[in-house]
Each structure stands twice: as C-alpha cells, then as structure tokens.
Structure 1
Amino acid sequence: MTTGTVTTHTTPEGISTISFFHPSHNSLPGALLTQLAATITQTSQDPATKVIILQSEGEKTFCAGASFDELIAIEDEARGLEFFSGFAKVINACRTSPKIIIGRVQGKAIGGGVGVAAATDYCFATSQASVKLSELVVGIGPFVVGPVVERKIGRAAYGQLALDAGEFRSATWAQEKGLYATVVDSIGALDAAVAAFAAKLAAYNPEALTELKQVLWAGTEHWDTLLTERAAISGRLVLSDFTRQAIQKFKAS
C-alpha cells in the first residue's frame, strides 16, 4: 500500500469511476502519476465508457500533490523533468480524453491536486475542499499545473493562489472562480450529486459530448509541448539549495 493504487469500475450504464489512493494524504508519487494517466487514457478508449468520474479514496484530503520524499531524492535535471512530467501526463490524459470527466473532490486539494481537479470537465466538491498552490513555499512554483488552473479560474485568480502560497482558499472561493461547479455540505450529498450528474450525461448523445469536449478544450493543442517545458522549469528549480533546505524544513515541521 506504500506505492498507492489506481482502480477502475464501470457500471452497465457506462459510468466509469477511476479512484486513486496513497496513504500519505493521497499524494502522487511518479509511479502513481504514470499509472493514473495510463488508466485515464485506457478508460477513455473503452467503448463501454460513456462518462468518467475521477476521484480519490478516503474522507479527508483529495490530493496533497507531489511526494516530498521523491522531490528530495531528485539528483539531476533529467530526473526532475521525468518526475514533474507525471503531472503533465495526467493533465494531458484528461485533456485529450474524448469522454467528459467529472471531478469528485471530497477534501483539500494542494499543489498538483489543484491541477488534477482543474483538469476535469465538471467538478463537484464539499465545503471542506479548500485549495492551495503551495509550490513557492518549497522553492519551486506551480508551473506544470499553471495552464490548466489558469484555464479554469483565470490568470488573476491563478496569480493569487500561486503567490499566496502558504494559505488555503475556501471551497466557496474556488466555486466563485470556476474551479468547482457545485459545492455541497457533506460527502453523502457529494456522492448523490455526482451520481445524478453522471447518469444525466450518460443518457446524452455520446457523439455530441465528444464534440463538445473538443470545443471546451480548444486552444490547448500545444500543451504536450508546453507542459513538458514547464516540467523542465520545476525540474531545474527543485535542485537548488533553497528548495532542498525548504523541503527538509517542511518535512521536519
């Protein structure tokens, strides 16, 4: 269980749920990122799938972002590029999926976790699902997730999150900015809302949904290159003395 898991379940109605889990607050080590991206792509290509729900397990943190143990173990720029490209792979898997992806965010989303939520097409959350882009605190920046977060909430709000890196913004704030479409009070209400919306989408014309997906993501065709370039920036910064010391201090706190 230390490496985490990714599971998939598809109902007879064509609703596929992809769930990821990691015992450290649903953080995403490199291997889990790769597995998650591959699962999103594979599920998207399954003819039995009409709509996808993307969620994490547990009742608290949705996703704590990068694994600090892996961050501190990065020894060169090539390894840094490889690690941060994991988030790029997940975002691009969501972006290029022909299926509509519904996000289910039950708790806090931090760093790369905000990027995962932003990469979904329609996102539900609980009132506990506050958000924080904490990358500057440890000496890097939200470069890889930046384009997908900015696409959802706009550059001004993205700048607020990125620069005020030590503070959470509420789920209500995230809803007002467009990251979350709906915010509810409990996990029970969250599950009910997600299930009802997924059933509604599954009844629509699948060809129309695919065409709409392409329209919604128009202008992002260059992201395969862009997100790799952004991953290289983070991969370089993670090697700095500032970042090394900041991560060690963060882990010790």
Structure 2
Amino acid sequence: MSPDVPLLNDYKQDFFLKRFPQTVLGGPRLKLGYCAPPYIYVNQIILFLMPWVLGGIGTLLYQLGILEDYYTAALSGGLMLFTAFVIQFTSLYARSRSVTVERMLTTDILAEEDEHEFTSCAGAETIKFLIPGKKHTANIVFHSVLAGLVCGLGTWYLLPNRITLLYGSAGGTVLLFIFGWMTLCIGEYSLIVNTATETATFQTQDTYEITPLMRPLYIFFFVSIDLAHRLQLSLSQVEMYRHHFMD
C-alpha cells in the first residue's frame, strides 16, 4: 500500500468513529452523523449509568452496615428488575403512539440511515429512537428478569470488602470496582435499552433476539464461577464443623 493512501478514507473514518464506541459500550450512540439535540446524548448516558446507580444504593447500605451482602444483592437486583420493566413498558407505550420518527431530508448519498428529527426530550419519537423495544413480548419478561439477576449478582460480586479480600490493596479494589461496574453497565444497556449494531448478516437472522444476551451471559458466567467457589468454601467449612461436633 502506498504511504500516500490513508488506511481509512474520510467516510470510513467517520463511520468507524461512530460505530466503534457503540460496539464497545454495548449500544449507546454517543456520536451521530448529524446534529442531534443534547438531550439525546444525556438520556443515553443516564440509561447507561442506571445499573451503577441502583447497585450503588445497595453497596452504600452494605458499607454502612445496614444490610447483609445477600440482602444487598436482592435489593439491587429488585431495583434493576423494576427499572427494566419500566423501560420496556415505556418503549411499548411510545410505539403504540401514532407519532412516527421523522426522517431528515438529505441530499448526501453517503448519509447514515438513522437520521431523525426530534421534538422533545421525552417525546414518543425520542423514546422509540433510544429504546427500540423487543420484538417478542416474552423477551420483555425474560430480558428484564435476567437484567435483575445480573445486576444483583454483579453488586454482590463487586462489594468493596469482597474485592479487598481478593487483592488486599486499595488500588486494585478501586480499579476492579470501576471497570467491573462499567462492564455491568455495558451488559445491562445492551439487554434492556438498545443493542449495539453487530454484523448486518447476523442481525437480520437474529429472530429470537440472541444478540442482547451475549454480553450479560458472559458476565453471568464469570460471576457464577466466583459464586460457586464461595459456596464450595462455605460448604467445606460447614462439613468441617459437622465433623468437629460429631467427634
């Protein structure tokens, strides 16, 4: 390749800068190819950080000694479950409205197909753009329940005291807490708000909405390993005490 030929031309570079953050963050469209109102980005950031806020409530109560760890997980998971249902039913309500998302007129043949015109922060057209909703009613329930379960287990796994026991350092605790919650937010956003656009071939074949499940299931898998390990240690201690008292 000639050194004068860029790796990405202007159009491909602009497309990459829009698509890459969306893929990494699990769905938020923080860079659009047209001028959108600021509340479009603010709403996405709020929805993205919502699991962290709900998990933070449980974490704070645990750190203050008000709740035990399992009650903390149940509280955060329950709040996430309720929030997920609210988000999904809000999307259903918006889709039932007669308002349609208006396409912006453009003469640029290279313009993206997601150019829309918005009229209000909480209007039906804004909600339908931010939260496309599920194709199947059963997935509203299933994905919401899974969101609550992942948030609850994630909160339990990322309790600062538990992280400190693993690494024994404040720096490691802070880093794992921050990046752990970022990972949870990515998984939850793709599950209950909007999934990142994957390859077009796979997306057209995703009849049963498998794509939104991938990130949360990875999180659930790793947290489950830690959960199984802790339960094994607890059962070993119980077995040791049982033999001690029997002797």
TM normalised by structure 2 equals 0.29
Higher helix residue share: 2
Rg larger in 1 or in 2?
2
Higher relative contact order, structure no. (Cα contacts within 8 Å, ≥ 6 residues apart): 2
TM normalised by structure 1 equals 0.29
